[in-house]
Amino acid sequence: MVTVGVKSIDREHAALVDQLDRLQSNPAVHPDSDAFTDLLSRLGRQINAHFENEEEILRTCGMPAEAVLEHFRAHTAILDEYARLNLDLMNGGELSREAALTLIRQWIVEHVLRHDLKIADFVPAADGAQPTS
Ligand SMILES: [Fe+2]
Ligand SMILES: [Fe+2]
């Protein structure tokens, strides 16, 4: 996984990718299973905590206000999608395993690539930057 150069953020991204891997590697975890419900609620707590931490970095790293706002909006959109997914499932909505995986992959992998990587431009190399491996 690519790194943004802030240790705590990179660690949280790795933990989120772990959850996604766990889901991808276990075909038994289908959206109508208890295992999926557990994983989804754990993921929701993790995403919430991660966004709070990352937004603190975004507010203080010197990134232009417009870029920070755009990033905040992307977080809000993900939290909205998460809430909507939970509501749909609660109301008996049908969701394929592939659709769930696609959604979660967007929240985690695509968001990091499209938004979080920009943080690297504003983090001094001395402040926790680590070689990409
Ligand atoms: Fe982000
Ligand atoms: Fe992030």
Domains and CATH numbers, the chain: 7-26+40-122 (1.20.120)
pLDDT band at 3 (very low <50, low <70, confident <90, very high): very high
The bound ligand whose nearest atom lies closest to the alpha carbon of 12 is 2
Distance 128 CA to ligand 2 centre (A): 16
DSSP state at residue 127: T
pLDDT at 131: 52
Is residue 10's pLDDT more than 70? Answer: yes
Kindly tell me if the per-residue pLDDT of 126 is higher than 50.
Answer: no
Give the E-state strand segments of the chain in sequence order: none
pLDDT > 70? residue 132: no
Per-residue pLDDT, 129: 47
Cα-to-centroid distance, 48 and ligand 2 (Å): 10
Residue for token digits 């990033």? 71
Would you state the pLDDT for residue 125? Answer: 63
What's the 80 CA to ligand 1 centre distance in angstroms?
14
Q: Rounded to the nearest whole angstrom, what is the distance from the C-alpha of residue 92 to the centroid of ligand 1?
A: 30
DSSP structure class, residue 33 = S
> What's the burial of 107, exposed, middle or buried (CB within 10 Å: 0-12/13-18/19+)?
buried
pLDDT tens column, 55-86: 999 999 999 999 999 999 999 999 999 999 99
* Bigger pLDDT: 125 vs 49: 49
How many CA within 13 A on the CB side of residue 68?
13
CA of 93 to the centre of ligand 2 (A): 28
CA of 22 to the centre of ligand 2 (A): 19
For position 133, what pLDDT does the model report?
45
C-alpha radius of gyration, the chain, whole number: 16
Q: Report the share of the chain in percent with pLDDT over 90.
A: 79
User: What separation in Å is there between the alpha carbon of 128 and the centre of ligand 1?
Assistant: 18
Ligand located closest to 78 CA: 1
pLDDT confidence of residue 40: 94
Q: What is the pLDDT of residues 20-51, one digit of tens each?
A: 999 999 988 899 889 999 999 999 999 999 99
